[in-house]
């Protein structure tokens, strides 16, 4: 049976500026991503991939065309409606982690639950759910640490827990390994691979070919157009196995990566 479509864009266009100063960032993107896919979005600077991700993340509107998220056309929603969609359906993982400096890990993970419109939870329920999310990324013992008391890899794992806390239909990751060393990057990719294996839909921007190899599908944007859309399933399976073997190395061997 075919899996449900999570993302569908129909002739998606985005134009910035007016008159003689118009810049066509997206020139008609037609894209479909199904539930459970792990997709890499690649492309050079200025290609339009960031614009596409902003629209997929309900942070911006298309100028023309339609964006259907989980069966709902969100193309023309207002800012308040888009904010509700982001909180209810989307989880975000950023290159710079975006943790709040004065909040502990568990407090930061709890933040998205504060903005829930439906099925609001008590403080004790929020705390219990946040602790479970931290435990799922191996950081239960760091729940009361501030960001400056955590390594870069640990901060990104807190960000992953926060992204998952409202059980989104879609995870959007923008260069989540970009600020990490090789060892921490491997650990974050292992976390994302495990989420994918449990059925999560993940769309991730990356400039790194070795990272993209671990995803089942690679999309490349160039000059505002969909330049490539390639199935990568066999390559991804091999890359994931290679990653798992690397993570099983002794710590002293990993330090040399």
What tens digit of pLDDT does each residue of 73-128 get? 999 999 999 999 999 899 999 999 999 999 999 999 999 998 776 667 889 999 99
Query: Considering the domain boundaries, does residue 139 fall inside one?
Result: yes
Domain residues for the domain of 211 are 37-60+81-254
Query: Considering the domain boundaries, does residue 25 fall inside one?
Result: no
Query: Considering the domain boundaries, does residue 31 fall inside one?
Result: no
Give the Å distances, CA to CA, from 228 to 49, 83, 146, 218, 223.
Answer: 12, 31, 41, 8, 12
Any idea which residue has 């239909």 for tokens? Answer: 169
Query: Considering the domain boundaries, does residue 237 fall inside one?
Result: yes
Query: Considering the domain boundaries, does residue 47 fall inside one?
Result: yes
pLDDT of residue 52: 96
**Percent of the chain residues topping a pLDDT of 70:** 95
pLDDT of residue 253: 53
Is the pLDDT at 131 greater than 90? The verdict is: yes
What is the total count of domains within the chain?
Answer: 1
| CA 137 – CA 37 distance, rounded (Å) | 20
Q: Indicate the pLDDT class of residue 154, thresholds 50, 70 and 90.
A: very high
| CA 177 – CA 188 distance, rounded (Å) | 7
pLDDT of residue 117: 65
Query: Considering the domain boundaries, does residue 97 fall inside one?
Result: yes
Query: Considering the domain boundaries, does residue 32 fall inside one?
Result: no
Give the Å distances, CA to CA, from 93 to 27, 28, 53, 212, 216.
Answer: 26, 26, 12, 16, 19
Is the pLDDT at 215 greater than 70? The verdict is: yes
Q: What is the CATH number of the domain that holds 105?
A: 3.40.50.300
pLDDT of residue 116: 73
Query: Considering the domain boundaries, does residue 17 fall inside one?
Result: no
């Amino acid at each position: 049976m075919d899996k449900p479509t999570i993302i569908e864009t129909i002739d998606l266009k985005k134009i910035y500026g007016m008159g003689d100063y118009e810049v066509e960032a997206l020139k008609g993107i037609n894209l479909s991503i199904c539930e459970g896919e792990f997709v890499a979005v690649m492309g050079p600077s200025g290609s339009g991939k960031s614009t596409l991700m902003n629209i997929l993340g309900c942070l911006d509107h298309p100028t023309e065309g339609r964006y259907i998220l989980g069966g709902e056309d969100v193309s023309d929603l207002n800012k308040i409606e888009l904010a509700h969609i982001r909180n209810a359906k989307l989880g975000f993982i950023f290159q710079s982690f975006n943790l709040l400096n004065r909040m502990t890990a568990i407090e930061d993970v709890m933040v998205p639950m504060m903005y829930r419109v439906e099925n609001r939870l008590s403080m004790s329920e929020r705390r219990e759910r946040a602790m479970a999310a931290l435990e799922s990324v191996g950081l239960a013992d760091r729940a009361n640490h501030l960001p400056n008391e955590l390594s870069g890899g640990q901060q990104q794992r807190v960000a992953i827990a926060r992204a998952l806390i409202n059980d989104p239909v879609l995870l959007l990751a923008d260069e989540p390994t970009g600020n990490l060393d090789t060892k921490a990057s491997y650990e974050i990719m292992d976390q994302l691979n495990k989420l994918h294996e449990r059925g999560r839909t993940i769309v991730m921007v990356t400039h790194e070919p070795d990272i993209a190899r671990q995803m089942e599908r690679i999309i490349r944007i160039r000059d505002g157009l969909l330049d490539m859309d390639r199935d990568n399933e066999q390559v991804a399976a091999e890359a994931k196995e290679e990653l798992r073997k690397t993570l099983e190395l002794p710590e002293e061997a990993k330090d040399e990566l």
